[in-house]
Copies of this chain bind each other. A is one copy, B any other.
Amino acid sequence: QKMTSVSTSMRSSTRLFLLAIAFLYEYAVSTAAYKTENENITSKWQLPNFLILFADDLGMGDLSCYGHPTQMTPNLDKLAAEGIRFTQWYSAFHICTPSRAAMMTGRLPIRSGLAGSNWAGSVLTSSSRGGLPLNETTIAEALKQKNYATMAIGKWHLGQQGKFLPTAQGFDEYYGIPYSDDMGNSAWRPNALDVPLPLLHSTPMNITIVEQPTDLNLLTNRYAAKGVQFIKEKSAAKIPWLLYMAFNHVHTPSFVGIQHCNTTLRGRFGDALAEMDDAIGQIMSVVNKARADENTVVFFTSDNGPWLIQRLQSGSAGLLRDGKTTTWEGGFREPGIIRWKGKIKAGRISTEVVTTYDIFPTSLSLAGISLPSDRHIDGKDISEILFSDTAKTPHECIFYYKGIDSPGCLQDDKHHVCSGLWAVRCGAYKAHFYTRNYNSPVVKLHDPPLIFQIEKDPGESYPINQNTDEYKNVKGKVEAEVSKHKQSLMPVPNQFLAGSDISVAVCCDPDSKIRYPTHPKCTCNPENYKVDVCEMDYGQGNSISTTITSTPRAVKFEDLQEQITL
């Protein structure tokens, strides 16, 4: 079989390093939380597959179908044209880790202890002690009730320790990098002293470090190849499946494979987005060839808005204000596409307010699985919106957190503790209690809140006059909703307060941890291992100027080509 032989050649050529950890697999799904249902095993292929395509730092304005003038994304445009394109789709947070925690669990990150330790929010690092708590129920764990085959590919960022990896959280298999692609030594930062960026491959019982540091140029192609393989195998076996594909693109750095180097009008950032779009084209093509089109619900979105400090290497929020790290619309609002051929009418555009954490309850609903009843789920089942032009959003309000209640907030002299809840959207209105722009350290307190009618004024330019009845009504409604929301919160351990410890960093060479306890080298590629990069191009006027010299690669691109041959 072709796939088998490729897999063998890959194993030999990339020198897999086995982490000999007989670790205790804490598969702590709280099954008691579910109503179990009688399930006819023979009808399981009638259950829909779920394909979650997840981008990184993509802005509302980055795709051609969302209006970018020079970025062409034909495969994502096609996905939208065949399904429903949302224009008021919200992530749960303005940065990565908390946003992904919400997607996995259907719950705001404030509920899982992943909303950050200060006003800025936080992301996990290469040596974090914390992670997505195991008593949280992930979408993969939930779908396991109906024996879904589950795989996660790409960036995880919910804990790099074995006990927090996807394969400890309901996924049968994981292939990817455990945190962001700009973290640690790699071709991006070849002289960085921190632990090199690893590429992992794991099952619930085994964790393999494929490469450390990994070749950033190859990641997207490798991800696509793994995704293709999974879809083919599970579809052929008529096993319902969940595939979560979390691309590194368009997070900085924009490393791409040689075949995407200088192929777009938009520079290397454009190349990176085009590479992801192509990979999505490959994935959708295999869904089609596997005759799974009408049996697969496809979601596409991103974790948070564009990382504007990266200037020309950042995305665009379109007409929305600001981007990543802020509670302006540009930080939270995302492209959002759902396609289910034959079930969702093609070519729809929906202005209903929906969220990334709706993926969890919506998928469970479509699979006939009840929600956990022992916890608060913030996401909503939006399947009615998918099937009806007139259905309205089930969301009363959307909450924009920035960290949790804590000291450490820069502010004016009026207050001394910043609330973690910085903004709330109820209906067409959004109230800001605090704001901060991505390029300024100043946190601005708004008391009374700054209120916008966000459907007339999506750019948040014209605050509503505080002396109007409109303002007073909205303020009253928002205050009541915030109070209700706060009552639903339960205290949980803050995962970021667990701190970090180099000894729990992923390291392919345990010896180096002993020899260099503060800065283990953990570089397990062969002596002459080099990566051939598509030279970084930051454009003029960009503050970042790293350039990587082109050198031969250990892994030939041709090897990879085989894997993605369908």
Q: Is A266 an interface residue (CB 8 A)?
A: yes
A456 touching B318 in the complex, CB below 8 Å, given contacts A87-B69, A462-B539: no
Confirm or deny: A72 has a beta carbon within 8 angstroms of a beta carbon on chain B. yes
User: What's the least CB distance linking A389 to chain B, in Å?
Assistant: 11
Please list the residues of chain A having a beta carbon within 8 angstroms of any beta carbon in chain B.
60-61, 64, 66-70, 72, 77, 81, 87-88, 265-267, 269-270, 311-312, 316-320, 333, 347, 349, 351, 428, 453, 455-459, 461-465, 468, 470-471, 539-542
Between-chain CB contacts (< 8 Å), 8 pairs: A72-B349, A265-B456, A270-B456, A312-B457, A312-B462, A319-B319, A463-B541, A468-B540
**Contacts A67-B66, A265-B428 known; A540 to B462 CB distance under 8 Å?**
yes
Q: How far is the CA of A269 from the CA of B457 in the complex (A)?
A: 11
By the criterion CB–CB under 8 Å, are B319 and A456 in contact?
no
**Across the interface, do B312 and A456 meet the contact criterion of CB distance under 8 Å?**
yes
From B67, B333, B465, B540, A541 is in contact (CB under 8 Å) with B465
Min CB distance A461 to B, Å, is 7
Q: Give bound CA distance, A318 to B60, whole Å.
A: 11
Nearest CB on B from A308, distance (A)? 9
Q: Is the CB of B351 within 8 A of A319?
A: no
Cβ contact of A462, chosen from B311, B453, B458, cutoff 8 A:
B311
* The 6 nearest A-B residue pairs measured at CB: A67-B67, A69-B87, A464-B540, A462-B541, A265-B455, A267-B456
Q: Check A540 against B458 for contact (C-beta < 8 Å).
A: no
Collect the chain B residues with CB atoms within 8 Å of residue A428's CB.
Answer: 265
User: Which residues of B lie under 8 Å from residue A88 when comparing CB positions?
Assistant: 69-70
Q: Please, which residue of chain B has its CB at the minimum distance from the CB of A428?
A: B265
In the assembled complex, the Cα of A316 lies from the Cα of B319 at a distance in Å of 7
Per DSSP, are chain A's interface residues mostly helix, strand or loop, or mixed?
loop
Q: With the chains together, A132 CA to B343 CA distance in Å?
A: 55
B70 and A87: CB pair below 8 A?
yes
Other-chain contact of A458, B69, B333, B458, B463 (Cβ < 8 Å): B69
**Shortest Cβ distance from residue A274 to the other chain B in the assembled complex, whole angstroms:** 13
Q: How far is the CB of A489 from chain B (nearest CB, A)?
A: 30
Choose one: B66, B69, B465; the contact of A351 (CB below 8 Å): B69
Give the nearest-CB partner of A540 in chain B: B464
The minimal Cβ–Cβ distance linking A267 to chain B, given in whole angstroms, is: 5
A333-B67 Cα distance, complex, nearest whole Å: 13
Min CB distance, A335 to chain B, in Å?
10
Q: Which B residues lie within 8 Å of A72 (CB)?
A: 349, 351
Task: Quote the shortest CB–CB distance from A32 to chain B (angstroms).
Answer: 42
Residues A67 and B319 in contact in the complex (CB < 8 Å), given A453-B540, A456-B270, A463-B541: yes
Chain B residue numbers with a CB within 8 Å of A455 are: 69-70, 265-266
Contact B462 A542 (CB under 8 A): yes
Closest chain-B Cβ to A202's Cβ sits at a distance in Å of: 38
Shortest Cβ distance from residue A313 to the other chain B in the assembled complex, whole angstroms:
10
By a CB distance below 8 angstroms, the chain B residues around A351 are 69-70, 72, 265
- Across the interface, name the chain B residue whose C-beta is closest to A456: B267
Residues of chain B within 8 A (CB-CB) of A456 are 70, 265-267, 269-270, 312, 539
A317 and B461 CA atoms in complex are apart in Å by 14
Residues in B whose Cβ lies below 8 Å from that of A349 = 64, 72, 77
Closest B residue to A74 by CB, please name it: B349
Contacts of A457 in B (CB 8 A): 312, 539
Chain B residues within an 8 Å CB radius of A68: 67, 87, 319, 458
Q: Name which residue of chain B comes closest to A335, CB basis.
A: B67
Q: How far is the CB of A80 from chain B (nearest CB, A)?
A: 11
Nearest residue, chain B, Cβ from A542 = B462
Q: How far is the CB of A71 from chain B (nearest CB, A)?
A: 9
Q: Cβ of A465: which chain B residues have Cβ within 8 Å of it?
A: 540-541
Shortest Cβ distance from A73 into B: residue? B349
Q: Which residues of chain B have C-beta atoms less than 8 A from A316's C-beta?
A: 319, 458-459
Report the nearest B residue to A86, measured CB to CB: B69
Question: Do residues B66 and A453 form an inter-chain contact, with CB atoms below 8 A?
Answer: no
Shortest distance between the CB of A176 and any CB in chain B (Å): 29
Give every chain B residue within 8 A of A468 (Cβ-Cβ): 540
Nearest chain B CB to A19's CB is how many angstroms away?
42
CB nearest neighbor in B for A72? B349
- What are the residues of chain B within 8 A of A81 when measuring CB–CB? 347
Q: A70-B87, A471-B540 known; 14 other A-B pairs, CB under 8 Å?
A: A61-B319, A66-B67, A67-B67, A67-B319, A68-B458, A69-B87, A69-B455, A69-B458, A70-B351, A70-B455, A269-B456, A318-B318, A319-B319, A463-B541
Min CB–CB distance A330 → chain B (angstroms): 10
